[in-house]
């Protein structure tokens, strides 16, 4: 918990608890449980209306603004809502008790205000092969034993941001599946300290700077995110924690719904972090003496335009949400995928403009140790000073924050994650194609053009 590389990630999750205790954020950060009627953290909520979906996006923007990092509870919240409606429909078809299992777990997670890691992404191995056809069957997580009291699973989940800070892990399949893949069509929850679970932490850019004790050099010294490869080495799952077990025809449904919810999320969290980056860029321009330059003003306008466009998409897909058969609300999937498709592009341009405004000092600045050095410090102060009234240290601090957001460890939670989080760009394009309803649009055009066909 006190490891300097891991601690900022824990602080980001802590912020989701702290903000929920503040009266000014109560409306966004808390909700009334549809299961118990009690006040709960919104990160454990099952959406009951389009208004709930909108508040979710606004909450995520707030958390991004406060941490400038990934705050790690979104995946669990999105998994909750996807599993809730899917288990209801599985039970309708097969007479299973998955929905009741999940509701019991949900009430437990709400009462304890647990952080739950949503785990979908398998390592996948050879992407051209189905799960059952892989040379190594463990490259997709699967059931290896079915017992009277539960199942045993083996495999791994990759890119698990926040798993090291989570109480529980909610596992889902990662792709649509056929009958031959039924052992891979599995969903469940287990505590993250269960026997057989191993978390192998990933490396990040500039991560060892956190070991040096310099608040300035890491850019964002308090908050961050941490990923891990999570290995499930023959992990036992009791029957009452199982939400899917071989019903392969619902694997794609669960994936599609989770992906939609999580692509909606990016219209909030990335926008909040973008707000911080825009603010840092504006401050850097002022510290450089370029704040009044027309081209700098225009770049800040463009950054704002792109950021707010992402927010528009997040709000739009929420406002167009509708109830599922289970009663919880699902976003408009087409608009959610449009939202995430824009997120794969716009943050890269926002980051490029931030680097443009900041200047080369962002990546060539000396360390805080040099700034404080008895001999060299005076030279750093002298030659890296900007406008009068702003200390050299403050100028370097804002440069380090921009570096952190665009190139450093926070790039995992902003720039690079914007590309691959919640699915790569092609994944959204596939979903956009499926839901674009070209047949209806062609019919509209032909009616307007007075076209009559045999």
- The binding site for FAD consists of 161
**Among 142, 262, 324, 406, the one annotated catalytic:** 262
262 has catalytic annotation: yes
Q: For helices 425-435 and 251-288, give the axis angle rounded to 10 degrees.
A: 120
Distance between first and last Cα of the chain: 71
Answer whether 173's CB lies under 8 Å from 186's CB.
yes
Task: Measure CA 428 to chain center.
Answer: 15
| Distance in angstroms (rounded) separating the CA atoms of residues 428 and 342 | 10
| Distance in angstroms (rounded) separating the CA atoms of residues 179 and 182 | 5
User: Count of residues for the chain?
Assistant: 454
DSSP type of residue 163: G
**Among 45, 63, 74, 168, the one annotated catalytic:** 74
Helices and strands, counts by H and E, the chain: 16, 12
**Among 70, 313, 317, 339, the one annotated catalytic:** 70
Going by the annotation, the residues of the binding site are 161
Paired residues of 452 in beta bridges: none
Paired residues of 19 in beta bridges: none
Q: For helices 392-406 and 251-288, give the axis angle rounded to 10 degrees.
A: 160
227 has catalytic annotation: yes
> 121: which residues sit within 8 A by CB, 6+ positions away?
157, 158, 159, 160, 174
**Among 115, 161, 174, 406, the one annotated catalytic:** 161
70 has catalytic annotation: yes
| Distance in angstroms (rounded) separating the CA atoms of residues 308 and 267 | 9
Can you say whether the dihedral through the CA atoms of 190, 195, 200, 201 is positive or negative? positive
269 has catalytic annotation: yes
* CA-to-CA dists, residue 72 to 8, 82, 151, 176, 289, angstroms: 12, 17, 28, 25, 37
**Among 269, 313, 317, 339, the one annotated catalytic:** 269
The shares of helix, strand and coil residues in the chain, as percent rounded to the nearest 5, are 55, 15, 30
Q: Which residues are catalytic?
A: 70, 74, 161, 227, 262, 266, 269, 417
């Amino acid at each position: 918990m006190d490891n300097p590389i891991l601690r900022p990630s824990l602080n980001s999750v802590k912020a989701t608890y702290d903000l929920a205790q503040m009266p000014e954020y109560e409306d966004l950060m808390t909700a009334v449980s549809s299961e118990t009627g009690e006040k709960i953290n919104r990160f454990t909520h099952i959406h009951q209306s389009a208004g709930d979906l909108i508040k979710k996006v606004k909450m995520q923007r707030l958390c991004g603004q406060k941490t400038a990092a990934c705050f790690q509870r979104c995946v669990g919240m999105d998994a909750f809502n996807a599993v809730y409606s899917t288990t209801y429909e599985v039970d309708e078809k097969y007479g299973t008790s998955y929905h009741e299992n999940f509701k019991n777990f949900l009430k437990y997670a709400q009462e304890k205000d647990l952080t739950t890691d949503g785990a979908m992404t398998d390592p996948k191995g050879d992407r051209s092969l189905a799960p059952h056809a892989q040379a190594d069957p463990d490259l997709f997580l699967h059931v290896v034993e079915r017992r009277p009291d539960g199942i045993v699973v083996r495999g791994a989940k990759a890119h698990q941001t926040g798993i090291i800070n989570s109480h529980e892990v909610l596992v889902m399949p990662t792709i649509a599946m056929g009958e031959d893949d039924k052992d891979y069509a599995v969903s469940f929850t287990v505590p993250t300290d269960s026997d057989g679970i191993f978390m192998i932490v990933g490396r990040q850019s500039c991560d060892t700077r956190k070991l040096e004790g310099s608040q300035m050099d890491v850019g964002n010294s308090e908050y961050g995110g941490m990923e891990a490869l999570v290995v499930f080495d023959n992990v036992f799952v009791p029957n009452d924690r199982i939400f899917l077990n071989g019903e392969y025809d619902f694997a794609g449904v669960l994936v599609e719904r989770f992906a939609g919810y999580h692509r909606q999320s990016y219209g909030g969290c990335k926008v909040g972090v973008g707000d911080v980056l825009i603010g840092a860029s504006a401050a850097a321009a002022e510290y450089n003496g370029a704040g009044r330059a027309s081209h700098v003003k225009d770049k800040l306008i463009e950054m704002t335009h792109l950021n707010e466009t992402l927010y528009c998409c997040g709000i739009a897909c929420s406002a167009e949400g509708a109830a599922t058969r289970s009663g919880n609300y699902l976003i408009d999937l087409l608009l959610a995928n449009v939202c995430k498709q824009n997120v794969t592009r716009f943050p890269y341009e926002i980051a490029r403009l931030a680097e443009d405004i900041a200047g080369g000092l962002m990546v060539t600045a000396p360390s805080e140790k040099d700034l404080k050095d008895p001999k060299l410090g005076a030279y750093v102060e002298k030659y890296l000073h900007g406008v009068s009234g702003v200390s050299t240290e403050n100028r370097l601090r804002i440069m380090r924050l921009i570096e952190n957001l665009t190139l450093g460890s926070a790039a995992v939670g902003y720039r690079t994650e914007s590309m691959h989080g919640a699915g790569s760009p092609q994944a959204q394009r596939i979903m956009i194609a499926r839901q674009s309803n070209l047949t209806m649009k062609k019919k509209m055009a032909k009616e307007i053009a007075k076209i009559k066909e045999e």
